[in-house]
């Protein structure tokens, strides 16, 4: 009726299925076997469907655990014996099943059965049991009253007075499923709970045992293997309960204990058990990672026959199993490398002798196994997590394979000897058999294949290397990848595939150079050189040799070897254009300087010289066939503006004053003002370095903090602009930039040829002729060595520049300090700027002047001339010559203050065109003339007016007649006394009496005024120069005869004695002819001031002196006010009647005037002096009007 049914499937725990332990907690059943058999299937199925809380003692965390169970029939034999601490295959919990509901039946049979059962359990000290009473649900029963005592009550009272929960009644689910659910769930929960409770109790006891065992570890006879297996039981249980991490902890503890033993054995005694691990081993099969327990290895352990590697493999595989169960493949990868290293270390410590290559095989197999395991997890998160660790595993496997390859003669370039073949066979034997399928070869298969032939080895090795490099690159470990690349390069080198090797080496070189690892870089260069030599890549070989030969890191002999080799290959090299390489370390530009010979600029067509100092790092002398510095014109528009302006050629001499001497200075100051566009004429290596920001000055300022009460709280210094210094700089320019400069334009370069460059400092000069004018920068330096190797520097920085100029020569005539004055000998400066030209010997400047201007070189004794040749001394470019000239401009008769303009024509021998210079001379004086009349006598006044601050002393004034007229001039000028001085504001008058005599006043008297003058050189003492100049001026005197005399007087009317205001008076007008005149018809006009005089009747009238010489006219005038009144003015004019032909009367008159004859009469004025008014300025005393005064008096003044 009862049948034991093995549970066969449970899909909730697939992982557990694969576990070889396949263990589940074992529960025994007793009592009604048939009843249990009917329930077992559903029990097994239902138990793991829910979790139960596992409360553990010692305050350990409460875990939620899913339990399963397998049931076995209870028997006395299967109960654990005292001292047997196997946990796994032991029943842990015991259940008694019955369906007895009848109290009598219970009392007769069941009770005894339970008693016997409990007795056995009691004998074994087992307290984890349970009694289940299965009842059949009876509908009829429910209606009845509950029985007084049930079987359950009885069982409880009999057996479980203290443990009421250990007795349980359930409704049989088979009979009535619907009603039983509740009680069934209760049963399951109770079983789970009690099962875990049982485990807790057991494990506590077990742990005590383990602890106890561990305490005894230093006792003789203690065996780690036994201890290991014991503690592993605990791990198994934890694993069984799904507590993988806790199981892992157990293994890790065991690992630590073992490691410590090994380490201790290094310093102290080796315990007996440990020596069993020290025996040499024959088996080096690798790890097998799975969830299964390797029973062979475990049993070896049990027998203390396991080798160290076998033990380690077993332990690690168990750890990995736990990690796999918790889905942590990356941790496997992470633990692998330390594990392998540790094992190798332990092998050393324990001095275990190993067959050569065996460890390498084992490591290789382990690595590959771990890697394969990891690869099974291919979701991206996992890949990301484990790639970090798998990369180094790949690399490690590759290392080991290489070791094996070397051991077995599988590396390229060697053939395996029979001994090596034998090694392969024995190594393969030691690996054991672990056959996989063809699709998924096991690590063992792979290794065996790799060792089988050179071909296969190469394939596997390269594959591994690629994988390692790829993974390193993937996780960003470029340097590690490069290291493998270097190894690969060596491999390819041996294979003879130089091209591939060179690629890897160049990559590595780049990485080393980027971070300035010079020694590593140079090491790589050496390998590259080797590679290129084998490839017969002469160009690259030479380039690499230059680097090696100039590397200070290497010893001299190596450098010389490569240098010689380079020179040899260079000779073989036949290329059309030279091989171009950069300076790198072979040469270093120390300094550059444009030779200037004191000038800032280079003159066109002269030679530009640049001093170059370089440092050669080559170990030997080297001939430089051609050294050149490229030159590039600066076409920048901004710079063009900065160029010193070419001097304008046609600037008036006056405006150019004072600029001659300051020219150079002004160019310099212009330069300095331009700031960033500053031109450097030299630079050295110090300046070429970029500025180190760490050396920049910090601007710190004092900072004081005050408390509220104004007392000082703290004093500190703070940086004003911290951002500038705290700025993150690593994102840009992180790596040293390795840039190769392309070859610039060397078409116009400064060149030097055949220089021997010795090691160390070399100085040479490169030259070229300056061609076009402009600003030029030095570009780069090129050194051509041995015909076919050209070294190019990078662009020279800071930019050194020079300027080529073509400065036109200029000749300028400047006046001295004083104004240019005519009539005095003065100094002028002739300034000759040579510009960018040289003035040769025997060169003369020719000056021609306009009429009236004479010059002479001051130093010359020769007389002044209008055509002057000025010899120039020989001069260098940009010299300025100043030649003093004596200049005398004639002072012409000067009647106004206008300047006198002169022109100087200048002819330079180097210029075809003539240059005209206009000069303006100021007259120092001017003269004017006036004729004065006193009745019929005439006086000539000549006024000399000074016009300039330069004062002149006048002497010997003469006025001479130039005509033959019978006229005499009598000088009225003093001959001695005060010096006569003119200057600005100082005038001098001279007087002569003109005695005309009987000369008719028909033609003018021509006179010439002469006066000597000399400039006053001392103002205070009024000393003048001895030498005097003569001033002449011609004056024509016209109308020098008095023709008529007008006399007027005011008289009171007859009967009155005085003139009285408001009373009519007579104005007596006398006109008398004193000299013969052609005009006889005259008109008089009375021009009275209307506020004083009222003219009654006609104010004008015509009189005729045809027949008589004198006429009288009386007019009535009335004074309007009293006092001394000036007489009314009388004006006399020529009267020309209307019908009269003037031409007939006056032959002197111009004909056109007469042709204008009209029918009207007209007036013509007399010249001053022809009419003499003798009453001019006379006054008459006029009394106030009659009413006011009684007495009037008229008198003539």
Partner 1 sequence: MAVCVTVIGKENSPKYISCLNPELDLQFQYKVHTSLDVVEEKLSSVGKTSGDVRELYLGLLYSTEEHKIFGYVTNTKIKFIIVVESSNTLLRDNEVRTMFRKLHTIYTDVVCNPFHIPGDPIISKNFDATVKSIMSGNA
Query: Nearest approach, Cβ of 342 to partner 1 (angstroms)?
Result: 9
Question: From the list 516, 568, 649, 874, which residue makes contact with partner 1 (rule: CB under 8 A)?
Answer: 516
Which residue is associated with the tokens 């180097």?
A: 910
Which is nearest to 273 in space by CA: 220, 229, 347, 231? 220
By CB under 8 A, residue 341 contacts partner 1? yes
Question: From the list 164, 338, 646, 898, which residue makes contact with partner 1 (rule: CB under 8 A)?
Answer: 338
Interaction pattern, residues 423-462, with partner 1; x per rule: CB under 8 A:
----------------------------------------
Beta bridge partners of 1141: none
Structure tokens given for 660: 């001659």
Burial classification of residue 709, based on how many CB atoms lie within 10 Å of its CB (0-12 exposed, 13-18 middle, 19 or more buried): exposed
Which residue, 341 or 655, has its beta carbon nearer to partner 1?
341
Query: Nearest approach, Cβ of 680 to partner 1 (angstroms)?
Result: 24
Query: Which three-class secondary structure string do you get for 691-746?
Result: CCHHHCCCCEEEEEEECCCCCEEEEEEEECCHHHHHCCCCCCCCCCCCCCCCCCCC
The three-class DSSP label of residue 805 is strand
Q: Given the rule CB under 8 A, which of 474-482, 782-790, 809-817, 1093-1101 is the region that contacts partner 1?
A: 474-482
By CB under 8 A, residue 520 contacts partner 1? yes
By CB under 8 A, residue 680 contacts partner 1? no
By CB under 8 A, residue 348 contacts partner 1? yes
By CB under 8 A, residue 326 contacts partner 1? no
Query: Nearest approach, Cβ of 486 to partner 1 (angstroms)?
Result: 8
By CB under 8 A, residue 726 contacts partner 1? no
Q: Given the rule CB under 8 A, which of 469-477, 640-648, 909-917, 1136-1144 is the region that contacts partner 1?
A: 469-477
By CB under 8 A, residue 766 contacts partner 1? no
Structure tokens given for 877: 């470019």
Which residue, 478 or 625, has its beta carbon nearer to partner 1?
478
- CA geometry: angle 1107, 1108, 1113, nearest 5 deg: 120
Structure tokens given for 426: 């024995």
Helix axes 380-407, 418-431, angle to 10 degrees: 140
User: What are the CA-CA distances from residue 133 to residues 172, 195, 362 (Å)?
Assistant: 9, 18, 59
Query: Nearest approach, Cβ of 524 to partner 1 (angstroms)?
Result: 10
Query: Nearest approach, Cβ of 734 to partner 1 (angstroms)?
Result: 6
Which residue, 511 or 1048, has its beta carbon nearer to partner 1?
511
Q: Given the rule CB under 8 A, which of 341-349, 622-630, 843-851, 1163-1171 is the region that contacts partner 1?
A: 341-349
Rounded CA-CA distance 1084/1069 in Å is 9
Question: From the list 246, 523, 790, 803, which residue makes contact with partner 1 (rule: CB under 8 A)?
Answer: 523
Question: From the list 337, 370, 545, 612, which residue makes contact with partner 1 (rule: CB under 8 A)?
Answer: 337
The three-class DSSP label of residue 1021 is coil
By CB under 8 A, residue 512 contacts partner 1? yes
Phi, psi at residue 673, to the nearest 5°?
Answer: -70, -25
Q: Given the rule CB under 8 A, which of 70-78, 515-523, 529-537, 771-779 is the region that contacts partner 1?
A: 515-523
Which is nearest to 273 in space by CA: 233, 313, 227? 227
Which residue, 214 or 477, has its beta carbon nearer to partner 1?
477
Q: Given the rule CB under 8 A, which of 287-295, 336-344, 492-500, 642-650 is the region that contacts partner 1?
A: 336-344
Structure tokens given for 987: 């005038």
Structure tokens given for 489: 């390069």
- CA geometry: angle 248, 261, 368, nearest 5 deg: 50
Q: Given the rule CB under 8 A, which of 479-487, 603-611, 632-640, 704-712 is the region that contacts partner 1?
A: 479-487
Rounded CA-CA distance 880/875 in Å is 8
Question: From the list 86, 141, 305, 479, which residue makes contact with partner 1 (rule: CB under 8 A)?
Answer: 479
By CB under 8 A, residue 1032 contacts partner 1? no
Which is nearest to 891 in space by CA: 988, 986, 1010, 984? 1010
Q: Given the rule CB under 8 A, which of 84-92, 343-351, 621-629, 1174-1182 is the region that contacts partner 1?
A: 343-351
Which is nearest to 892 in space by CA: 975, 1009, 997? 1009
- Cβ proximity of 298 and 26 under 8 Å: no
Q: Give the CB-side neighbour count of residue 280, counting CA atoms within 13 A.
A: 7
The three-class DSSP label of residue 999 is coil
Query: How many secondary structure helices (H) and strands (E) does the chain include?
Result: 29, 49
Q: Given the rule CB under 8 A, which of 344-352, 368-376, 593-601, 658-666 is the region that contacts partner 1?
A: 344-352
Question: From the list 392, 814, 894, 1048, which residue makes contact with partner 1 (rule: CB under 8 A)?
Answer: 392
User: Number of residues in contact with partner 1, rule: CB under 8 A?
Assistant: 32
The three-class DSSP label of residue 1019 is coil
- Cβ proximity of 944 and 982 under 8 Å: yes
Per the rule left: phi > 0, alpha: psi between -120 and 50, beta: everything else, 977 is left
By CB under 8 A, residue 734 contacts partner 1? yes
Rounded CA-CA distance 1140/1106 in Å is 15
Task: Please name the residues in contact with 25: beta carbons below 8 A apart, sequence gap of 6 or more.
Answer: 67, 68, 69, 70, 92, 93, 195, 199, 240
Question: From the list 480, 581, 788, 1142, which residue makes contact with partner 1 (rule: CB under 8 A)?
Answer: 480
Which residue, 197 or 517, has its beta carbon nearer to partner 1?
517
Question: From the list 163, 179, 477, 600, which residue makes contact with partner 1 (rule: CB under 8 A)?
Answer: 477
Beta bridge partners of 1081: 1104
Instruction: For the beta carbon of residue 731, count every other beta carbon within 10 angstroms.
Output: 6
Which residue, 730 or 964, has its beta carbon nearer to partner 1?
730
Which residue, 729 or 955, has its beta carbon nearer to partner 1?
729
The distance of Cα 212 from the centroid of its chain, to the nearest Å, equals: 73
Which residue, 726 or 1191, has its beta carbon nearer to partner 1?
726
- CA geometry: angle 1108, 1114, 1117, nearest 5 deg: 155
Query: Nearest approach, Cβ of 358 to partner 1 (angstroms)?
Result: 15
- Percentage helix, strand, coil for the chain under 3-state DSSP, each rounded to 5: 35, 30, 35
Query: Nearest approach, Cβ of 483 to partner 1 (angstroms)?
Result: 5
Which residue, 137 or 517, has its beta carbon nearer to partner 1?
517
Which residue, 79 or 391, has its beta carbon nearer to partner 1?
391
Question: From the list 21, 46, 350, 478, which residue makes contact with partner 1 (rule: CB under 8 A)?
Answer: 478
Question: From the list 695, 701, 704, 717, which residue makes contact with partner 1 (rule: CB under 8 A)?
Answer: 695
Structure tokens given for 720: 């004003």
By CB under 8 A, residue 257 contacts partner 1? no
Q: Given the rule CB under 8 A, which of 10-18, 184-192, 334-342, 1017-1025 is the region that contacts partner 1?
A: 334-342
User: What are the CA-CA distances from residue 199 to residues 67, 263, 913 (Å)?
Assistant: 11, 35, 126
Instruction: For the beta carbon of residue 1117, count every other beta carbon within 10 angstroms.
Output: 24
By CB under 8 A, residue 833 contacts partner 1? no
Question: From the list 55, 376, 703, 736, which residue makes contact with partner 1 (rule: CB under 8 A)?
Answer: 736
Question: From the list 72, 263, 700, 718, which residue makes contact with partner 1 (rule: CB under 8 A)?
Answer: 263
By CB under 8 A, residue 719 contacts partner 1? no
Residues of this chain, 482-501, that bind partner 1 according to CB under 8 A? 483
Q: Given the rule CB under 8 A, which of 13-21, 240-248, 563-571, 692-700 is the region that contacts partner 1?
A: 692-700
Which residue is associated with the tokens 């290293």?
A: 341
Which residue, 123 or 519, has its beta carbon nearer to partner 1?
519
By CB under 8 A, residue 724 contacts partner 1? no
Binding site residues, partner 1, CB under 8 A: 263, 266, 337-338, 341, 344-345, 348-349, 392, 472, 475-480, 483, 512, 515-517, 519-520, 523, 692, 694-695, 730, 734-736
């Amino acid at each position: 009726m009862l049948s034991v049914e093995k549970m066969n499937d449970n899909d909730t725990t697939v992982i557990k299925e694969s576990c070889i332990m396949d263990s589940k907690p074992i529960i025994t059943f007793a009592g009604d076997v048939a009843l249990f058999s009917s329930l077992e299937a559903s029990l097994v199925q239902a138990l793991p469907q829910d979790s139960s809380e596992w409360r553990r003692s010692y305050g350990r965390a409460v875990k939620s655990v899913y339990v399963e169970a397998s049931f076995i029939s209870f028997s006395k034999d299967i109960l654990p014996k005292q001292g047997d601490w196997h946990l796994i295959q032991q029943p842990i919990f015991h259940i008694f099943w019955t369906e007895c509901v009848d109290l009598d039946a219970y009392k007769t049979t069941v009770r005894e059965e339970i008693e016997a059962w409990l007795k056995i359990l009691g004998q074994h000290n087992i307290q984890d049991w349970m009694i289940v009473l299965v009842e059949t649900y009876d509908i009829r029963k429910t209606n009845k009253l509950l029985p007084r005592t049930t079987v359950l009550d009885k069982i409880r009272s009999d057996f479980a007075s203290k443990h009421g929960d250990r007795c349980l009644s359930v409704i049989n689910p088979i009979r009535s499923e619907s009603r039983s659910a509740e009680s069934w769930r209760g049963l399951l929960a109770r079983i789970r709970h009690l099962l875990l409770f049982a485990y807790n109790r057991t494990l506590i006891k077990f742990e005590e045992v383990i602890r106890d065992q561990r305490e005894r570890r230093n006792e003789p006879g203690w065996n780690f293997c036994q201890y290991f297996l014991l503690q592993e039981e605990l791990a198994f249980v934890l694993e069984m309960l799904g507590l993988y991490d806790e199981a892992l902890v157990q293994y890790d503890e065991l690992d630590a204990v073992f490691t410590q033993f090994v380490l201790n054995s290094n310093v102290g005694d080796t315990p007996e058990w440990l020596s069993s691990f020290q025996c040499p081993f024959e088996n080096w099969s690798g790890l097998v990672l799975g969830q299964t327990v390797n029973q062979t290895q475990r049993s070896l352990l049990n027998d203390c026959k396991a080798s160290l590697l076998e033990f380690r493999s077993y332990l690690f595989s168990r750890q990995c199993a736990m990690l796999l169960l918790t889905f942590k493949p990356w941790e496997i990868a992470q633990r692998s490398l330390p594990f392998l290293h540790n094992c190798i270390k332990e092998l050393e410590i324990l001095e275990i002798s190993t067959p050569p290559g065996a460890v390498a095989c084992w490591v290789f197999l382990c690595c590959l196994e771990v890697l394969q395991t990891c690869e099974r997890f291919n979701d991206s998160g996992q890949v990301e997590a484990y790639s970090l660790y798998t990369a180094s595993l790949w690399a490690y496997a590759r290392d080991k394979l290489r070791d094996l390859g070397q051991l077995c003669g599988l590396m390229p370039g060697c053939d395996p000897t029979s001994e090596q073949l034998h090694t392969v066979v024995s190594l393969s034997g030691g690996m054991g058999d672990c056959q996989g399928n063809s699709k998924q070869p096991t690590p063992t298969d792979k290794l065996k294949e790799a060792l089988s032939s050179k071909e296969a080895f190469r394939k596997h090795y390269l594959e591994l290397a690629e994988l390692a490099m790829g993974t390193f690159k993937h996780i960003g470990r470029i340097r590690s990848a490069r290291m493998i690349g270097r190894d690969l390069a060596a491999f390819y080198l041996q294979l003879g595939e130089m091209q591939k090797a060179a690629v890897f080496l160049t990559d590595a070189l780049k990485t080393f150079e980027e971070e300035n690892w010079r020694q590593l870089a140079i090491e790589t260069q050496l390998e590259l050189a080797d590679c290129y030599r084998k490839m017969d890549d002469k160009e690259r070989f030479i380039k690499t040799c230059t680097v090696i030969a100039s590397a200070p890191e290497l010893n001299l002999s190596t450098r010389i070897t490569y240098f010689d080799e380079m020179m040899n290959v260079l000779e073989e090299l036949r290329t059309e254009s030279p091989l171009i390489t950069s300076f790198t370390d072979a040469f270093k530009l120390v300094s550059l300087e444009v030779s200037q010979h004191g000038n800032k600029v280079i003159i066109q067509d002269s030679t530009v010289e640049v001093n170059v100092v370089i440092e050669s790092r080559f170990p030997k002398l080297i001939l430089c066939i051609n050294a050149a510095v490229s030159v590039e014109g600066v076409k920048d528009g901004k710079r063009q503006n900065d160029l010193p302006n070419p001097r304008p050629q046609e600037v008036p001499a006056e405006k150019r004053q004072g600029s001659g001497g300051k020219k150079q200075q002004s160019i310099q100051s212009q330069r300095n003002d331009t700031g960033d566009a500053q031109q450097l004429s030299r630079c050295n290596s110090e300046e070429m370095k970029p500025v180190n920001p760490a050396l920049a000055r910090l601007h710190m300022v004092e900072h004081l903090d005050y408390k509220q009460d104004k007392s000082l709280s703290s004093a500190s210094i703070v940086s004003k602009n911290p951002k500038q210094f705290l700025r993150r700089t690593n994102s840009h320019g992180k790596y040293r930039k390795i840039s190769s400069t392309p070859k610039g334009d060397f078409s116009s370069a400064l060149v030097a040829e055949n220089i021997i460059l010795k090691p160390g400092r070399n100085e040479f000069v490169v030259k070229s002729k300056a061609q076009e004018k402009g600003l030029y920068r030095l570009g780069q330096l090129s050194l051509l060595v041995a015909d076919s190797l050209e070294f190019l520097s990078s662009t020279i920085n800071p930019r050194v520049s020079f300027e080529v100029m073509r400065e036109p020569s200029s000749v300028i005539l400047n006046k001295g300090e004083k104004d240019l004055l005519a009539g005095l000998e003065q100094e002028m400066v002739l300034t000759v700027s040579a510009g960018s030209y040289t003035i040769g010997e025997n060169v003369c400047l020719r000056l021609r002047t306009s009429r009236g201007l004479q010059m002479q070189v001051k130093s010359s004794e020769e007389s002044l001339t209008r055509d002057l040749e000025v010899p120039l001394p020989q001069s260098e470019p940009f010299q300025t010559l100043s030649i003093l000239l004596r200049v005398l401009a004639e002072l012409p008769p000067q009647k106004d203050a206008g300047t006198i303009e002169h022109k100087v024509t200048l002819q330079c021998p180097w210029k075809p065109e003539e240059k005209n210079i206009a000069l303006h001379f100021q007259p120092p004086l001017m003269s004017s003339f006036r004729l004065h009349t006193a009745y019929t006598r005439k006086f000539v006044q000549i006024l000399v007016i000074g016009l300039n601050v330069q004062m002149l002393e006048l002497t010997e004034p003469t006025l001479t007649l130039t005509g033959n007229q019978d006229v005499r001039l009598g000088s009225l000028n003093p001959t001695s006394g005060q010096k006569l001085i003119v200057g600005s504001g100082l005038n001098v008058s001279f007087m002569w009496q003109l005695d005309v005599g009987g000369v008719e006043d028909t033609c003018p008297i021509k006179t010439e005024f002469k006066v000597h003058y000399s400039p006053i050189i001392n103002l205070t003492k009024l000393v003048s120069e001895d030498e005097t100049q003569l001033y002449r001026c011609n004056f024509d005197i016209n109308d020098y005869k008095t023709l008529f005399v007008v006399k007027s007087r005011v008289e009171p009317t007859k009967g009155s004695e005085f003139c009285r205001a408001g009373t009519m008076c007579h104005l007596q007008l006398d006109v008398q002819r004193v000299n013969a005149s052609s005009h006889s018809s005259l008109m008089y006009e009375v021009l009275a001031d209307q506020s004083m005089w009222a003219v009654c009747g006609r104010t004008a009238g015509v009189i005729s002196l045809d027949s008589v010489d004198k006429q009288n006219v009386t007019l009535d005038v009335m004074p309007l006010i009293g006092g001394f009144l000036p007489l009314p003015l009388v004006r006399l004019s020529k009267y020309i009647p209307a019908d009269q032909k003037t031409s007939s009367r006056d032959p002197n008159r111009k004909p056109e005037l007469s042709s204008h004859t009209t029918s009207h009469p007209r007036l013509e004025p007399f010249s001053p002096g022809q009419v003499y008014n003798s009453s001019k300025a006379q006054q008459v005393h006029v009394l106030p009007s009659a009413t006011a005064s009684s007495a009037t008096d008229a008198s003539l003044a």
